[in-house]
Chain A
Amino acid sequence: MAGKNNHHNNGSENHHESEVHITPLSTYLKVAVALFVLTFLTVTAHIYESHYVTMAPFIAFGIAAIKAFLVMAWFMHLKYEEPSNRLIFSMGFLFLAVLFAFCVIDIFTRVPQGTIL
Chain B
Amino acid sequence: MTTPAHRTPESDPILGDGRSSPVASPPNGEGNPNRTSRHVTRRIAERATTEPRLVRWALIAVALGFLGAFVVLPMAAVFATALQKGISTYIDNIKDPMVLSAMKLTLIAAGIAVPLNLIFGLAASWAIAKFEFYGKQVLITFIDLPFSVSPVVSGLIYVLIFGLQGWFGPWLNEHDIKIIFAVPGIVLATIFVTFPFVARELIPLMQAQGAEEEEAALTLGASGWQTFRRVTLPNVKWGLLYGVILCNARAMGEFGAVSVVSGHIRGLTNTMTLHIEILYNEYHSVAAFAVASLLALLALVTLAIKSAVEWRVKQQLRSARQTVIEREAT
A and B associate in one complex: no
Report which A residues bind B (CB closer than 8 A): none
Report which B residues bind A (CB closer than 8 A): none
